[in-house]
Amino acid sequence: MAGQDQSQTLGFSVLLVCDKLHEPTALGRAARALLADLKNHDVTATTSLSAADAGDEIEANPHLQAIILDWDLHQDPGHAHAQALLTSIRARNAKVPVFLLAERNDAAHVPAKVMSEADGFIWLLEDSMEFISNRVLAAVRRYRQQLLPPMFGALTRFADEAEYSWHTPGHTGGSAFLRSPAGRMFYDYFGEKLLRADLSISVAELGSLLDHTGPIGAAERYAAHVFGSDRSYFVTNGTSTANRVVMTANVARGEIVLADRNAHKSIEHGLALTGARPAYLLPYRNHLGMIGPIPPASLTKEAIAHNLATSRLTAGGGGKPALAIVTNSTYDGLCYNAARVEELLGASVDKILFDEAWFGHARFNTLYQNHYAMRGPAAETDRTGPSVFATQSTHKLLAALSQASMVHLRERRAKIEHVRFNESLMMHASTSPNYAIIASTDISSAMMDGAGGQLLTCEAIAEAVSFRQTMARLQAEFAEQDDWFFGVWQPDMVRDAAGEVPFIDAPAEMLVENQACWALEPSASWHGFTGLEPGYCMLDPIKVTLTTPGMARSGRLEDTGIPAPLLNHYLAEHGITPEKTANFSILFLFSIGVTKGKWGSLVNALLDFKRDYDSNTPLARALPQLCATHPAAYGAMGLKDLGTTMFSAMKLTAYPERLQEAYNFLPTPEMIPAEAHDRLIRGEGGMARLDGLAGGVAATAIVPYPPGIPLLMPGENFGPADGPVLRYLTALEDFDKRFPGFGHDTHGVEPGESGYQALRY
């Protein structure tokens, strides 16, 4: 295929919408002749005989590359059907070629709006089929060239040249795998195109990720346009690396950093790398253990000054903080009004990093207005506030390969020189980046550009809303029978023009479009957070948290309950993997890949669990894998037996409440994270059981999963034996011993024969 254009190698797909296709008329015969001629040009031609069917086909098949639409569809003299379909097409895709089938004398009467939305006319009874087909094919080729973003287009052209490779990687386009039986299996599984696209930095035609030249540099500039930044940088090692890049680019040793305590461990790594002195911003937790937003009162100039003056690590001075770090959105989908956060923090810092690993989709839907870092257009022209970074995991809720991430920058009063910033990026980036990851990041930009971004995010939100309301209706139906079912963490009531209405009864379109429906209003009891301002924080509807019975809004355990880890095991046996499982909640992500069939299966599995739980189905049938692995512990039990026993143990050990207590206070820092890391590398300290940690200093972070947020940072004191940290770890250890297979993952704590241990100084 050397030199062959991509539009010729990936296949054409055209939709013909004409209700006269099967009629014994001149127009019907001409339409059939056009269809045959398109097929002779190797075009996959799909037909629709009605506007409704065409609408369904267009929604189901985004790969359509041209649409031929009968202007006189359904013989409607007002052309309402054709106009409505054309409007619907343009709402989904502003670029796909659309031709109108018409007679020449009709063209003079076509409205200007329709003329501007269509790409041309086809005169079936006057032009030859070959001429018409070539017009369509030419339009498709132009369209496909527009679709290919800079880097992906260059990569596919180069890989399809099939040249011999004399550079790394050593598999040379996959040929090395063909020399081994195991290698051949690998080659056959992943395919030639992926392996030919796995190239080396030696390929100058593709540019460089490290000096931002060529097609890769063009792809980053394209991403900046799409995501609304001054500059964007691709990162192929995930947002963990992106966070470290931003921190090492902006913080020198000994400088102060304002750090959200609800931070990913990459922020801890950044503190260790930079030698920064952290002053922590503490968010609250609610009754379900979710970490909420930092209260606005903690971000004022006065509050920050008090924080710096009283923290043991910053009380000695050190000038203005070099950087502030805020997690937006949180793991559970809580999103700040970023404009308000910038206003508050701007009095204390000149640079803010918003860790938006889970929020790359926000810019593309008006529902999230003002709640993300690279918002616009007013923010794009305002250069008076702090400079802002956003790090986003393009692979999490957009469509990209794992490890794909971006750093976006909006430069305001603090100047961020590219040359200096790029030195930090090169410190962390590989000199052998994966080109497929880079290409998927480029494609993600193209998917979200223009109408596509709004369409894809609206569909994801609509699916999440539909699932939420379905679950709410089911819960209400069971409640009428004085029976239990799963809940959803969401507002009880929402407000429309007529006043408040129950969430379950709200029009779906209102929930999809109205940001106020998702606001954490200070007076509302459902969210469980205090100290908020109106409009300060919203819940992202595509992050759906199901709740299991057992935890009251007061934060106290009820008399009966069903631990969520039990449900998680059941769902796993049914091939369903949630994003996060806590004590009484399970998080599901409604990304742009979720479909009705997918969440319908989840509803069915939840109903199956209720049936098996209520009937106390033997674990040998309900949880066969767990039962087979631990027959002595569970062989004689039913599903409800196990749930009741687990819940009783939760009440006895009180570890859910202990977790709340442990997260709602700041431990005493004895040294900065960098010093704790230095001592770790020098081999200082030693492992100790929980009863030997009192008064010691944590050598590594103690991070319970979930939620994956540090409970202790390196260099902080474990506190007394009866203090919040050790009391929680002791309760957790007791629970884990009772229930094999349900053990908790706590980074920094090692299970041993004699019990939990951690490294201390």
pLDDT of residue 2: 35
pLDDT of residue 108: 67
pLDDT of residue 165: 63
Spatial distance between the Cα atoms of 663 and 260, rounded to a whole number of angstroms: 13
Residues of the chain with CATH 3.40.640.10: 234-414
If we measure between CA atoms, which residue out of 264, 260, 248 comes closest to residue 304? Answer: 260
Give the residue with greater pLDDT, 645 vs 111. Answer: 645
CA neighbours within 13 Å on the CB side: how many for 108? 2
Residue 246 has pLDDT above 60, yes or no: yes
Spatial distance between the Cα atoms of 268 and 243, rounded to a whole number of angstroms: 10
pLDDT mean over 686-694 = 94
Position 697: which residue type?
V
Topology of domain 6-147, per CATH? Rossmann fold (3.40.50)
The CATH number of the domain covering residues in 234-414? 3.40.640.10
Position 139: which residue type?
A
If we measure between CA atoms, which residue out of 665, 742, 744, 675 comes closest to residue 703? Answer: 744
**Can you spell out the DSSP letters for 307-369?**
HHHHSTTTTT--SS-SEEEEESS-TT-EEE-HHHHHHHHTTT-SEEEEE-TT-TTGGG-GGGT
pLDDT mean over 425-448 = 93
pLDDT of residue 3: 37
Beta bridge partners of 680: none
pLDDT mean over 72-80 = 86
Spatial distance between the Cα atoms of 604 and 596, rounded to a whole number of angstroms: 12
Spatial distance between the Cα atoms of 346 and 324, rounded to a whole number of angstroms: 10
DSSP label of 583: S
Residue 175 has pLDDT above 80, yes or no: yes
* 316-325, 422-431, 605-614, 725-734: range with lowest mean pLDDT: 316-325
- Whose tokens are 């393009």? That residue is 394
If we measure between CA atoms, which residue out of 591, 629, 666, 651 comes closest to residue 741? Answer: 629
pLDDT mean over 298-321 = 91
The pLDDT confidence band at residue 162, using thresholds 50, 70 and 90, is low
564-573 and 639-653 are packed helices; what angle lies between their axes, rounded to 10 degrees? 150
CB contact at 8 A, 19 and 49: yes
Vertex 201 angle, CA 7 and 2, to 5°: 30
Q: For the segment 740-759, what is each residue's pLDDT rounded down to a tens digit?
A: 999 889 999 998 778 899 99
* DSSP three-state, residue 154: helix
Residue spans of beta strands (DSSP E) within 266-403: 277-281, 323-327, 334-336, 351-355, 387-392
If we measure between CA atoms, which residue out of 6, 293, 282, 297 comes closest to residue 161? Answer: 6
Q: For the segment 2-50, what is each residue's pLDDT rounded down to a tens digit?
A: 333 443 434 688 999 999 888 999 889 999 999 999 988 888 889 999 9
Residues of the chain with CATH 3.90.1150.10: 458-648
Q: Label the pairing between strands 334-336 and 537-539.
A: antiparallel
pLDDT mean over 103-121 = 80
Spatial CB neighbours of 227, under 8 Å, sequence gap ≥ 6: 360, 363, 374, 392, 406, 408, 445, 448
Instruction: Determine if the peptide bond prior to 502 is cis (ω within 30°).
Output: no
* 103-107, 468-472, 625-629: range with lowest mean pLDDT: 103-107
Residue 316 has pLDDT above 50, yes or no: yes
Spatial distance between the Cα atoms of 612 and 570, rounded to a whole number of angstroms: 10
- Whose tokens are 């379900």? That residue is 288
pLDDT of residue 144: 85
Q: Give rounded-to-5 percent helix, strand, coil for the chain.
A: 45, 15, 40
The CATH number of the domain covering residues in 655-760? 3.90.100.10
639-653 and 655-663 are packed helices; what angle lies between their axes, rounded to 10 degrees? 50
pLDDT mean over 479-496 = 95
**Can you spell out the DSSP letters for 180-238?**
SHHHHHHHHHH-HHHHHT---TT-GGG-BTTTTBHHHHHHHHHHHHHHT-SEEEEESSH
User: What is the four-CA torsion angle of 27, 32, 36, 38, rounded to 10 degrees?
Assistant: 60
- Whose tokens are 């053990």? That residue is 743
Residue 364 has pLDDT above 80, yes or no: yes
Beta bridge partners of 612: none
Structure tokens at 203: 């390929």
Element (H, E) at 57: helix 51-60
Spatial CB neighbours of 378, under 8 Å, sequence gap ≥ 6: none
Spatial distance between the Cα atoms of 630 and 624, rounded to a whole number of angstroms: 10
Q: For the segment 497-548, what is each residue's pLDDT rounded down to a tens digit?
A: 778 999 999 999 999 999 999 999 999 999 999 999 999 999 999 999 999 9
Residue 384: CB atoms within 10 Å: 7
Residues of the chain with CATH 3.40.50.2300: 6-147
Position 458: which residue type?
C
Spatial distance between the Cα atoms of 377 and 328, rounded to a whole number of angstroms: 20
pLDDT of residue 605: 95
DSSP label of 638: B
Residue 301 has pLDDT above 70, yes or no: yes
Query: pTM, whole model, 2 decimals?
Result: 0.90
Quick one: how far is CA 549 from the chain centroid?
Answer: 28
Residues of the chain with CATH 3.90.100.10: 655-760
- The domain 458-648 having CATH identifier 3.90.1300.10: the answer here is no
Vertex 221 angle, CA 219 and 223, to 5°: 70
The pLDDT confidence band at residue 447, using thresholds 50, 70 and 90, is very high
Q: How many residues does the chain have?
A: 761
pLDDT of residue 693: 96
